[in-house]
Structure 1
Amino acid sequence: MKYLVTGASGFIGSRVSEVLIEKGHYVVGIDNNNDYYDVNLKFARLDRIKHDKFEFINMDFSDKQSVDSLFDTHEFDRVIHLGAQAGVRYSIENPMAYADSNLVGHLNILEACRNHKIQHLVYASSSSVYGLNEKTPFSTSDSVDHPVSLYAATKKSNELMAHSYSHLYGIPTTGLRFFTVYGPWGRPDMAPFIFTKKILDGETIDINNNGDMWRDFTYIDDIVEGVVRIADVIPVRNNEWKVESGTPATSSAPYAVYNIGHGSPINLMEFISEIESALGIEAKKNFREMQAGDVYKTYAETSDLFKATGYTPKVGVKEGVQKFVEWYKEFYNK
Structure 2
Amino acid sequence: MGRVFRSQRLRYVHQHRWAYLLIAPAAVFLLAVVGYPIVETFRLSLYQSQASTATETFVGLTHYEAILTDQAFYDLLYRTGKWVLAGVLGKTLLGLLIAVALNADVRGQKFFRTAFLIPWGIPYAISAVVFRWIEHPQYGALNAALLKLGVIEQGVGILGNPDTALLGVVVADIWIGTPFMAIIILAGLQSIPVELYEAASIDGADRYQQFRYITLPQLKGVLFIATLLSTIWTFVSFDVIWTMTRGGPLNATTTLVIQIYQVGLENGAMGRGAAYSVIGFFVLLMFALVYIRVYAGDDL
TM-score bin, normalised by smaller chain: under 0.3
Q: Which has the higher helix share?
A: 2
Computing the radius of gyration from Cα coordinates, the structure with the larger value is 2
Give TM-score scaled by structure 1 length. 0.21
Query: Which of the pair has the greater relative contact order for Cα pairs under 8 Å at 6+ separation?
Result: 2
